[in-house]
């Protein structure tokens, strides 16, 4: 069978590119991992031309209609020459069409209701005009997605409201170079009174011309920490109510599966509540990169299935979030040799690393191996791990590494087969997409990963998802009787580490106790 490669791009913020081979993503790179600045703007085509060696094999390339290509004329011409020579062409699907494609075609569902929610992007109307949209509904079936409703931003723009509120009310970053810190607002919300200011947020309508008085709420939030939490709680509740009202209009009893994409679905608290709102839903799928960096994958998927009419590919054995580069032992050793004046290293087994994690000494261990994760969640390949049983571990990690707000939670990675014993709902959450409450009787066993309201944004782990990580957690369970480890991203306020050198620099720049290059059984300590 001929191997056909398609390249997808996202330019401007969340700059990225993806390579698909016969419809299967084989590579996804985000610019931020390489320039070490969160959510940078850039030319996705230029980024690929500089970092991908097999450009001449590309048959089609895709870029969302969002982009004004006049500024990318030179790189666009370069790639046009390649695909023309290969008998292919340039495609330009809509923004939310690409989000929807990524959501559905990355799932294993035969049919699903698809919902996309973000801060706005360009899509085509039925007559071919371009409209700015932020909330859309689709139905997926087989190798096609069908538009149900595309709402203009004048009707709803939840993502825009959140971006504005994050910066203008709470004084947090909502873009480059520090990245969007809306997650901090979500963390606050569980400690506030959601009713206190709910009506004001709800009545603002969450439109792009919202009547919300940001200065009014900024003044309230600045009075005390509790006032800040109350404002955050009202924002969160209004978001949930409005999203549910829109979904209610389109969801049917026949919809057993739900796919979501767009930056707003990173609101994992809202995602967790979908299971309660819609009991007929058997499973929910959110791809590893639901925000705009995932458009590179989605645009290419849209063209492969929707435009070129290729059959649907089930991903049971192909779907993976680990689409970054894998670095070999030579590259790891070269990086280590550059820091020999600052580090010691030795060979070690996984069992010994589990001992270091579980020995009640409060060790914090960074783990590096395999291809880097696509998206903003570390999923075991570029992770910092710790013992969830230690009640002081939140403070330890914040002091040693993260330097972030005290109320920010850390995530549990749990063996999928044990989920029902520990959580109130047995869900699939391989990419940390849903917040679910721990069962009350186990909360005191894992205080480091249990949020103040008893919840957690969990990562469920199977052997198929990540064989090494699954076996590591299983070893930890064998030793402690707890099938959970604390997992946070391997970084310190900058993007997740990409290269072995990035990993060592982060290790040396923080108080992480150990750095484990797991693929080669090498552990680093500081001199």
Q: Which of 68-72, 166-170, 227-231, 492-496 has the lowest mean pLDDT?
A: 68-72
8 Å CB contact between 365 and 375:
no
Of 239, 253, 232, which is closest to residue 190 (Cα–Cα)? 232
Q: How many CB atoms lie within 10 A of CB 407?
A: 15
CA–CA gap between residue 464 and residue 461 (Å, rounded): 8
Look at residue 315 and tell me whether its pLDDT is greater than 70.
no
pLDDT mean over 293-312 = 96
What is the pLDDT confidence band of residue 353, given thresholds at 50, 70 and 90? very high
Look at residue 1 and tell me whether its pLDDT is greater than 70.
no
Quick one: pLDDT at residue 64?
87
The per-residue pLDDT of the chain, averaged, comes to 94
Quick one: pLDDT at residue 86?
93
Look at residue 243 and tell me whether its pLDDT is greater than 80.
yes
205 versus 441: which is more confidently predicted? 441
Q: Which of 2-6, 312-316, 340-344 has the lowest mean pLDDT?
A: 312-316
What is the pLDDT confidence band of residue 302, given thresholds at 50, 70 and 90? very high
pLDDT mean over 484-491 = 97
pLDDT mean over 94-112 = 95
Reported pTM? 0.95
Quick one: pLDDT at residue 244?
97
8 Å CB contact between 484 and 413:
yes
Beta bridge partners of 30: 16
Beta bridge partners of 90: 61
8 Å CB contact between 125 and 85:
no
- Eight-class DSSP state of 328: -
Say whether 215 sits in a helix, a strand or coil: helix
pLDDT mean over 208-232 = 94
8 Å CB contact between 16 and 31:
yes
CA–CA gap between residue 259 and residue 261 (Å, rounded): 7
Q: Which domains does the chain have, with CATH numbers?
A: 5-93+298-307 (3.30.420.40), 107-286 (3.30.420.40), 329-526 (3.90.870.20)
- Eight-class DSSP state of 321: S
Roughly what angle, to the nearest 10 degrees, separates helices 182-189 and 268-277? 50
8 Å CB contact between 495 and 31:
no
Look at residue 407 and tell me whether its pLDDT is greater than 90.
no
pLDDT mean over 377-381 = 96
Quick one: pLDDT at residue 253?
87
8 Å CB contact between 402 and 416:
no
What is the pLDDT confidence band of residue 448, given thresholds at 50, 70 and 90? very high
What is the pLDDT confidence band of residue 316, given thresholds at 50, 70 and 90? low
Beta bridge partners of 258: 113, 284
What is the pLDDT confidence band of residue 39, given thresholds at 50, 70 and 90? very high
pLDDT mean over 266-280 = 95
CA–CA gap between residue 371 and residue 374 (Å, rounded): 9
Contacts of 439 (CB under 8 A, 6+ apart): 421, 422, 423, 424
pLDDT tens-digit series, residues 122-173: 988 777 788 899 999 999 999 999 999 999 898 989 999 999 999 999 999 9
Of 179, 366, 89, 140, which is closest to residue 261 (Cα–Cα)? 140
- Eight-class DSSP state of 400: I
The sign of the dihedral angle between the CA atoms of 288, 413, 390, 386 is negative
Which of 127-141, 316-330, 364-378 is most confident? 364-378
Look at residue 67 and tell me whether its pLDDT is greater than 80.
no
What is the pLDDT confidence band of residue 369, given thresholds at 50, 70 and 90? very high
Of 336, 368, 351, which is closest to residue 519 (Cα–Cα)? 368
Look at residue 91 and tell me whether its pLDDT is greater than 70.
yes
Look at residue 398 and tell me whether its pLDDT is greater than 90.
no
pLDDT tens-digit series, residues 172-216: 998 888 889 999 999 999 999 999 999 999 998 788 878 899 999
Give CA separation, 135 vs 14, 118, 159, 205, 211, in Å: 19, 7, 9, 13, 19
* pLDDT over 90 percentage in the chain: 83
Quick one: pLDDT at residue 317?
64
Six token digits for residue 233: 């709680």
Quick one: pLDDT at residue 310?
95
Quick one: pLDDT at residue 74?
84
Quick one: pLDDT at residue 374?
94
CA torsion 387-393-399-403 (nearest 10°) is 90
| Alpha helices per DSSP H over 359-488 | 393-397, 419-422, 467-480
8 Å CB contact between 364 and 394:
no
1 versus 420: which is more confidently predicted? 420
- Eight-class DSSP state of 476: H
């Amino acid at each position: 069978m001929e191997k056909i490669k398609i390249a997808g791009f996202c330019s401007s913020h969340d700059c990225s590119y993806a390579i698909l081979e016969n419809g299967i993503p084989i590579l996804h790179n985000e610019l931020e991992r390489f320039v070490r600045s969160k959510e940078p703007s850039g030319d996705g085509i230029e980024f690929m031309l500089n970092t991908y060696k097999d450009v001449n094999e590309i048959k089609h390339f895709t870029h969302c209609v969002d982009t004004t290509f006049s500024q990318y004329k030179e790189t666009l011409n370069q790639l046009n020459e390649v695909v023309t020579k290969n008998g292919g062409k340039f495609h330009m699907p809509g923004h939310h069409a690409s989000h929807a494609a990524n959501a559905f075609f990355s799932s294993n569902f035969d049919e699903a209701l698809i919902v996309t929610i973000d801060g706005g992007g360009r899509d085509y109307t039925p007559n071919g005009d371009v409209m700015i949209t932020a909330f859309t509904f689709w139905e997926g079936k087989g190798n096609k997605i069908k538009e149900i409703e595309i709402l203009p931003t004048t009707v709803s723009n939840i993502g825009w409201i959140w971006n504005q509120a994050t910066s203008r009310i709470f004084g947090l970053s909502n873009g480059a170079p520090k990245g969007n810190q809306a997650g901090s607002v979500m963390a606050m919300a569980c400690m506030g009174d959601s009713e206190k200011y709910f009506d004001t947020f709800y009545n603002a309508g969450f439109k792009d011309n919202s009547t919300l008085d940001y200065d009014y709420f900024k003044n309230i939030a600045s009075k005390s920490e509790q006032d800040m939490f109350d404002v955050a709680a009202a924002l969160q509740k209004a978001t949930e109510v409005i999203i549910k009202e829109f979904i209610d209009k389109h969801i049917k009893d026949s919809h057993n599966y739900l796919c979501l994409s767009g930056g707003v679905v990173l609101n994992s608290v809202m995602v967790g509540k979908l299971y309660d709102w819609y009991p007929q839903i058997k499973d929910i799928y959110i791809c590893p990169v639901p925000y705009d960096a995932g458009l590179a994958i989605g645009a290419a998927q849209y063209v492969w299935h929707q435009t070129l009419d290729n059959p649907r590919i089930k991903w049971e054995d192909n779907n993976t979030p680990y689409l970054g580069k894998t670095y070999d032992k030579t590259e790891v050793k070269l990086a280590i040799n550059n820091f020999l004046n600052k580090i010691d290293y030795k060979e070690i087994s996984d069992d010994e690393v589990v001992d270091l994690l579980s020995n009640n000494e409060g060790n914090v261990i960074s783990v590096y191996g395999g291809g880097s994760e696509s998206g903003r969640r570390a999923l075991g390949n570029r992770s910092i791990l710790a013992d969830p049983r230690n009640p002081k571990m939140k403070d330890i990690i914040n002091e040693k590494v993260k330097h972030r707000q005290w109320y920010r939670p850390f995530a549990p990675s749990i063996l999928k087969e044990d989920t029902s014993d520990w959580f109130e709902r047995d869900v699939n959450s391989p990419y940390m997409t849903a917040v679910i409450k721990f069962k009350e009787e186990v909360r005191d066993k894992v205080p480091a990963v249990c949020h103040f309201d008893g919840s957690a944004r969990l990562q469920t782990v199977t052997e198929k998802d990540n064989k090494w990580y699954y076996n590591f957690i299983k070893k930890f369970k064998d030793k402690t009787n707890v099938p959970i480890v604390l997992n946070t991203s391997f970084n310190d306020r900058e993007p997740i580490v990409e290269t072995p050198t990035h990993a060592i620099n982060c290790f040396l720049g923080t108080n992480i106790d150990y750095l484990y290059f797991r693929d080669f059984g090498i552990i680093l300590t500081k001199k």
